[in-house]
C-alpha cells in the first residue's frame, strides 16, 4: 500500500482508504491516482499519463481534467492550493504529497451484529454500508427516530442493500418493514403514491390487524383511501400528514418500524412534505425511514434537493452514498452469479473495467457474454467449469440488449433536439466539448452549450465536467457521460450515414480551430475521418501527425501512426501507399538511430561510474 496522509492507496483491492473508511473509486480515476502516487514529486505530462492508461488508443486530454475534478473532490484537494495534486498549466500534473509504504490494512469493520444478520449471501462488497445501516437501527433502542438516505446511480445496488438490511432485521423478528416505490409516470399525478403502497403492504402483513386498528383510530382518512371501512361512519376527511405521523409513531411503539420509500427523485411534493414532517417531529418513536434516490437525477430546483440539504444541515438525517464496487468485489459477484469458486482472470478484469464497478452492469455484461457464447461451461474430470472461448480484448462483444433498452427507455422522455445533443457528444469520447456537439449538428456554439447545460441538469447519465480553452481564446464547456456504456449505446443507435457526416464536421471544425497548427490535432482529426470511412483524408491526417511526432523526437509514435495508415492500404492509391511506406522507413530508421544514441549515452555514463 502507498500511504499519503491521511489516505492509503490499496492497489490489491483498487480502492482508497481514509482511516477505517473505504472510499471506492471508478477504475479510470483509480488508475490515474495510482500512476501519480507511484511517481511522486515529478511532472507527469498529459501525454505520459494518456499513454500509460490508454496505450494504443487516442483519448482527448480533456478526459484527464474530468478525472482530476473527481479525484480532488474525493481527496478534499484545492487546485489553487494543492496538498496532493498540483496542476502544471499546459504541461501536466505533479503529486506533491509525501508518499510512503504502508502495511496492508483490513477492511473497515462493520459494527457487531448477530451472525444471522451478517449472513447476506445475495450481496457483496457492501459490508461498510450495511454496518452503518445496522448502527442506525440500533439507535432506535433509545426511541430516537432515524431518517437515512441511501444514494447512488442506476444499478449501483441501492435496493439490494436495503433488502439485505431490512430482510435481516425482519427475519429475526426485530422489526416490521413496509415499502413503497415512487414511479416517474405517477409522481406528479397522484399524491402520496409510495406512502399508500407502503401502508397497503403493512395492512396486508401479519401485523395488519394492529396497523388497521391504529390507522382507524388516529388516521381514518388514510385507512379509507386504502378501501377499508371504518367502524364509525363519519364525513370524509382529507389525508392530513400529522395524523399519519402519529399513527406510524404509535405502531413503532409495539415493534420498531422500517418505512422504505424508493426512488425518491420521482416522489410527489406531498410525499416529500410528509417525510419532512416525520423528520422534524419530536415524539419518541422507534421509527426508521429509509429513503433511496439517484443524486444525478435531482437537478437544481428539484424539491428533493432542498429537502435533503435542509435535513442534513439540521442533522435530522444521515446519508449513505453507494459508490462503485472494487475489483475484488466484482470478482466475488461474478463467482456468485456463476456458482463457481473461481472465474477466468481475464473475465474478471474485462467486466470490472467495462462495468466500472457497477454491479447491475457487471451482471448484464456477464449474461451477455454467456448469450454470445464467449463464456461457456465445459466439463472436466466429471466436473464443469466456466471457460472463455476467445480473447475478450480482441473481440467486439457489443452492448447488451438489456442495457440498450434501459438507455432507450430514458431517451423516450427526451425531445428530438435533446437526443441529437447526446448522440453528437457520443461521437467524441466519454468526455466531449460543447463546440464539437455544435459542429456535428451544424448549430451555433453558444446556443448548443446552453442546451447541453440544461440537459446535464436533467439527465443522470451526463454531467458537466469543466471548461476547455480554445486556440481562439474562447472557452467552451465540456461534459462527460457518467458511464462509458451509455456513450456506446448512444453511438450505436445512430445510422452509419449520420455518424459519418457528423464525424467529418467535427474533424473539419477541429482543423478550423487549429488553423496553422493542424498538426497538433491531426491524430484526432484522423480518427474522425476514419470513423466516417473517409480513408484518404484519414491517411493524410495520420501522415501529418507522424511528421509532427518526428519533430518532437517521438519516433515510436510516428511509426505507429504510419503503420495504422498502411492498415487501410486497400482504400488508398498506389502512389499514396508508396509515399507512406517511404515515410515509414524513414521513421523506423530515425527510431533505430535514437535507440543507438540512447544506448551509447548509457554506456558512457556506466563507464564514468
In this predicted structure, the answer to whether residue 433 has a pLDDT above a threshold of 50 is: yes
Q: How far apart are CA 608 and CA 598, in angstroms?
A: 16
Q: What angle do CA 281, 282, 285 make, to 5 degrees?
A: 90
C-alpha cell at 1: 500500500
Look at residue 478 and tell me if it is in a domain: no
Q: How far apart are CA 226 and CA 215, in angstroms?
A: 11
CATH number of residue 24's parent domain: 1.10.10.10
Together in a domain, 142 and 241: yes
pLDDT of residue 73: 83
Query: What are the pLDDT digits (tens) for 313-340?
Result: 999 999 999 999 999 999 999 998 888 7
Together in a domain, 198 and 273: yes
Write out the residue range of the structural domain in which residue 275 sits. 115-321
Together in a domain, 336 and 276: no
In this predicted structure, the answer to whether residue 448 has a pLDDT above a threshold of 60 is: yes
Together in a domain, 146 and 283: yes
pLDDT of residue 347: 92
Look at residue 377 and tell me if it is in a domain: yes
Together in a domain, 49 and 139: no
Together in a domain, 185 and 334: no
In this predicted structure, the answer to whether residue 51 has a pLDDT above a threshold of 50 is: yes
Look at residue 352 and tell me if it is in a domain: yes
pLDDT of residue 299: 65
In this predicted structure, the answer to whether residue 44 has a pLDDT above a threshold of 80 is: yes
Query: Among 122, 130, 112, 99, which residue's Cα sits nearest to residue 5?
Result: 99
C-alpha cell at 586: 524513414
Predicted confidence band of residue 609 (pLDDT cuts 50, 70, 90): low
Q: How far apart are CA 36 and CA 84, in angstroms?
A: 10
Domain final position from 303, 321, 339: 321
Look at residue 424 and tell me if it is in a domain: no
Domain final position from 390, 413, 432: 390
- Residue 433, classed as helix, strand or coil, is strand
Name the least confident of 54-68, 225-239, 266-280, 287-301: 225-239
Together in a domain, 343 and 222: no
pLDDT of residue 21: 73
In this predicted structure, the answer to whether residue 440 has a pLDDT above a threshold of 60 is: yes
In this predicted structure, the answer to whether residue 143 has a pLDDT above a threshold of 70 is: yes
Helix ranges (DSSP H) in 183-290: 193-203, 208-218, 220-225, 241-254, 269-280
Proportion of the chain above pLDDT 70, given as a percent:
91
The DSSP code sequence of 443-464 is: --HHHHHHHHHHHHHH-SSEEE
Q: How far apart are CA 577 and CA 533, in angstroms?
A: 17
In this predicted structure, the answer to whether residue 113 has a pLDDT above a threshold of 60 is: no
CATH number of residue 184's parent domain: 3.40.50.300
Together in a domain, 201 and 295: yes
Look at residue 268 and tell me if it is in a domain: yes
Query: What are the pLDDT digits (tens) for 163-194?
Result: 999 999 998 889 999 999 998 767 567 899 99
Name the least confident of 32-46, 279-293, 344-358, 374-388: 374-388
The arithmetic mean of pLDDT across residues 237-242, rounded, is 82
In this predicted structure, the answer to whether residue 121 has a pLDDT above a threshold of 70 is: no
In this predicted structure, the answer to whether residue 294 has a pLDDT above a threshold of 80 is: yes
Q: How many domains does the chain have?
A: 3
Predicted confidence band of residue 119 (pLDDT cuts 50, 70, 90): very low
Together in a domain, 354 and 315: no
The per-residue pLDDT of the chain, averaged, comes to: 86
Together in a domain, 315 and 359: no
pLDDT of residue 205: 87
In this predicted structure, the answer to whether residue 247 has a pLDDT above a threshold of 80 is: yes
In this predicted structure, the answer to whether residue 504 has a pLDDT above a threshold of 90 is: yes
Highest mean pLDDT: which range of 21-25, 44-48, 106-110: 44-48
Look at residue 256 and tell me if it is in a domain: yes
pLDDT of residue 120: 39
Instruction: Answer whether 391's CB lies under 8 Å from 346's CB.
Output: yes
The arithmetic mean of pLDDT across residues 86-114, rounded, is 65
Domain final position from 67, 101, 135: 101
Query: What are the pLDDT digits (tens) for 347-358?
Result: 998 999 889 899
Predicted confidence band of residue 105 (pLDDT cuts 50, 70, 90): very low
- Give the sign of the dihedral formed by CA 326, CA 328, CA 329, CA 331: positive
Together in a domain, 170 and 96: no
Together in a domain, 146 and 188: yes
Q: Interhelix angle for 416-426 vs 434-441, to 10°?
A: 110
The arithmetic mean of pLDDT across residues 555-581, rounded, is 90
Look up the pTM and report it.
0.69
More confident residue, 512 or 99: 512
Q: What angle do CA 338, 341, 346 make, to 5 degrees?
A: 70
Look at residue 486 and tell me if it is in a domain: no
Helix ranges (DSSP H) in 109-188: 115-118, 127-138, 158-171
The arithmetic mean of pLDDT across residues 442-467, rounded, is 88
Look at residue 509 and tell me if it is in a domain: no
- Residue 243, classed as helix, strand or coil, is helix
Q: How far apart are CA 22 and CA 17, in angstroms?
A: 5
In sequence order, which residues have a C-beta less than 8 Å from that of residue 163 and are 6 or more positions away?
122
Amino acid at each position: 500500500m502507498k500511504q499519503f496522509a491521511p489516505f492509503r492507496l490499496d492497489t490489491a483491492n483498487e480502492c482508497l482508504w481514509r482511516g477505517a473508511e473505504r472510499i471506492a473509486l471508478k477504475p479510470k480515476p483509480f488508475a490515474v491516482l495510482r500512476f501519480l502516487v507511484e511517481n511522486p514529486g515529478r511532472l507527469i505530462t498529459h501525454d505520459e499519463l494518456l499513454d500509460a492508461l490508454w496505450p494504443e488508443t487516442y483519448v482527448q486530454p480533456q478526459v484527464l481534467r474530468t478525472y482530476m475534478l473527481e479525484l480532488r473532490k474525493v481527496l478534499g484537494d484545492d487546485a489553487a492550493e494543492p496538498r496532493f495534486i498540483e496542476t502544471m498549466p499546459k504541461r501536466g500534473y505533479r503529486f506533491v504529497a509525501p508518499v510512503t509504504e504502508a502495511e496492508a490494512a483490513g477492511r473497515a469493520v462493520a459494527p457487531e451484529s448477530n451472525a444471522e444478520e451478517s449472513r447476506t449471501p445475495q450481496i457483496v462488497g457492501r459490508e461498510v454500508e450495511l454496518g452503518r445501516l445496522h448502527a442506525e437501527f440500533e439507535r432506535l433502542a433509545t426511541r430516537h427516530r432515524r431518517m437515512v438516505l441511501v444514494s447512488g446511480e442506476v444499478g449501483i445496488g441501492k435496493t439490494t442493500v436495503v433488502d439485505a438490511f431490512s430482510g435481516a432485521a425482519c427475519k429475526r423478528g426485530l422489526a416490521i418493514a413496509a415499502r413503497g416505490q415512487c414511479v416517474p409516470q405517477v409522481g406528479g399525478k397522484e399524491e402520496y403514491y409510495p406512502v399508500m403502497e407502503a401502508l397497503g403492504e403493512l395492512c396486508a402483513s401479519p401485523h395488519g390487524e394492529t396497523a388497521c386498528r391504529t390507522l382507524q383510530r388516529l388516521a381514518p382518512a388514510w385507512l379509507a383511501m386504502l378501501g377499508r371501512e371504518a367502524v364509525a361512519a363519519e364525513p370524509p376527511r382529507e389525508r392530513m400528514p400529522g395524523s399519519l405521523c402519529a399513527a406510524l409513531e404509535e405502531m413503532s411503539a409495539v415493534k420498531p418500524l422500517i418505512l422504505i420509500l424508493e426512488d425518491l427523485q420521482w416522489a410527489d411534493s406531498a410525499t416529500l412534505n410528509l417525510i419532512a414532517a416525520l423528520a422534524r417531529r419530536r415524539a419518541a418513536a422507534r421509527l426508521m425511514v429509509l429513503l433511496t434516490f439517484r443524486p444525478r437525477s435531482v437537478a437544481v430546483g428539484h424539491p428533493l434537493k432542498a429537502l435533503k440539504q435542509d435535513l442534513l444541515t439540521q442533522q435530522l438525517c444521515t446519508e449513505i452514498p453507494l459508490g462503485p464496487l472494487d475489483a475484488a468485489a466484482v470478482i466475488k459477484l461474478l463467482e456468485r452469479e456463476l456458482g463457481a469458486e473461481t472465474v477466468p482472470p481475464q473475465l474478471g478484469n474485462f467486466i470490472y473495467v467495462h462495468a466500472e464497478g457497477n454491479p447491475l452492469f457487471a451482471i448484464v455484461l456477464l449474461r451477455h457474454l454467456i448469450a454470445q457464447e464467449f463464456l461457456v461451461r465445459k466439463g472436466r474430470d466429471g466436473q464443469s467449469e466456466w471457460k472463455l472461448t476467445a480473447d475478450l480484448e480482441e473481440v467486439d462483444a457489443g452492448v447488451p440488449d438489456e442495457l440498450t433498452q434501459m438507455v432507450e427507455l430514458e431517451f423516450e422522455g427526451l425531445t428530438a433536439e435533446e437526443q441529437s445533443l447526446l448522440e453528437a457528444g457520443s461521437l467524441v469520447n466519454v468526455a466531449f466539448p460543447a463546440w464539437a456537439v455544435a459542429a456535428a449538428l451544424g448549430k451555433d456554439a453558444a446556443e448548443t452549450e446552453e442546451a447541453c447545460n440544461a440537459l446535464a441538469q436533467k439527465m443522470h447519465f451526463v454531467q458537466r465536467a469543466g471548461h476547455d480553452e480554445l486556440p481562439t481564446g474562447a472557452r467552451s464547456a465540456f461534459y462527460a457521460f457518467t458511464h462509458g456504456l451509455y456513450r456506446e449505446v448512444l453511438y450505436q443507435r445512430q445510422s452509419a450515414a449520420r455518424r459519418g457526416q457528423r464525424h467529418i464536421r467535427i474533424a473539419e471544425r477541429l482543423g478550423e480551430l487549429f488553423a496553422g497548427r493542424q498538426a497538433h490535432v491531426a491524430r484526432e482529426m484522423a480518427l474522425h475521418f476514419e470513423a466516417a470511412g473517409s480513408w484518404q483524408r484519414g491517411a493524410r491526417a495520420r501522415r501529418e501527425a507522424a511528421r509532427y511526432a518526428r519533430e518532437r523526437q517521438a519516433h515510436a509514435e510516428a511509426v505507429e501512426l504510419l503503420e495504422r495508415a498502411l492498415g487501410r492500404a486497400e482504400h488508398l492509391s498506389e502512389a499514396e501507399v508508396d509515399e507512406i511506406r517511404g515515410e515509414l522507413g524513414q521513421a523506423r530508421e530515425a527510431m533505430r538511430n535514437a535507440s543507438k544514441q540512447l544506448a551509447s549515452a548509457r554506456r558512457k555514463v556506466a563507464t564514468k561510474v
